[in-house]
Amino acid sequence: MQPPTLQDVYRARQVISRHLAPTPLVRSAAISEVLECDVYLKLETAQPIGAFKVRGGINLVSQLPEDERARGVITASTGNHGQSIAYAARTFGVKAIIAAPERANPDKVASMRRLGAEVILRGRDFDEAREWAEEQARLEGYRYVHPANEPLLIAGVGTASLEIMEALPQVDAILVPIGGGSGASSHCLVAKGISPSVKVIGVQAEKAPSVYLSWKAGRKIETPEAATWAEGIMTRVPFDLTLGIIREHIDEIVLVSEEELRQGVRFLLESAHQLAEPAGAAPAAAARKLKDRLRGQTVVLFVSGCNITLDQL
């Protein structure tokens, strides 16, 4: 399994541009003032599913061979990746089955079903749902879409990084949440491929630190649980393809507490009037923590999604 190249990302944009518009990259004067740096928000919240992952879904499903389309696809998700595959499957006329944890975000589950996917709730967390989906793919012959070990997914979500670099070539640092790692690894490949001086800073929850621990140790480390409020970054197991890219290219990974995540959601809402789900607010939480080091720089916060429930808010 080879990582996608920058050329693959440009090819993905040719596909995706027929279905999705570029998302806004807006400067926040209020956040810039608070953090004492030049802060831009990449608003993937403007995507039709409210999250960046739809880019990867469109790119992957559009390129499936006919026999795989005929068999249908199956995947596992806490919600946004599942919405991505459901949206793409509906776009290209493919059957989609999504396994989600039993306590998955109900708004995301409803959205996946609204998009036409069959959603089956299995397991206590994402990784148990993923294991069930992998077994069903073996038993039933579905095309299994891994949430991270898919070069076409990474190339697709990498188009967001292209948009950042073309609109803001002077950017010094991009802060991005890390769950399965498709977003962070795509920024590593694209932003640093275009401008090696750009720093890519990943953000994980203290209560779901598998990628951070693996990055520090130089080997895969699984955690017994992922108990974070931010279901978008709630993973116990790092994945080979994205972890390999992250280990080679990322500049830093920052851990944020549950309280810092909550304050990140509130900070974006109060300061920029932008609604983000907990994972989408993780970069804002990390930027507050890194204020002294980011001072005076041009910084992009990757607001990866806005699918927060009313109860969470």
65: alpha, beta or left, given left = phi > 0 and alpha = psi -120 to 50? beta
- pLDDT for residue 1: 83
Residue 111 belongs to what H/E stretch?
helix 106-114
Q: Is 139 exposed, middle or buried (0-12, 13-18, 19+ CB in 10 A)?
A: exposed
**202 Cβ neighbours under 8 A, 6+ residues apart:** 175, 176, 177, 178, 184, 211, 212, 246, 250, 252, 253, 254
**Beta pairing partners, 1:** none
- pLDDT for residue 144: 98
Within 13 A of 73's CA, how many CA atoms are on the CB side?
A: 30
**Phi/psi of residue 228, each to 5°?**
-75, 155
pTM: 0.96
Nearest to 285 by CA among 301, 297, 298, 273: 301
Mean pLDDT by 10 residues, the chain (313 residues): 96 98 98 98 98 98 97 96 98 98 95 98 93 97 97 98 98 97 98 98 98 97 94 94 97 98 98 98 98 98 97 94
CB 84, CB 183: distance < 8 Å:
no
**Which tokens in the block code for residue 213?**
């621990």
Number of CB atoms found within 10 A of residue 196's CB: 8
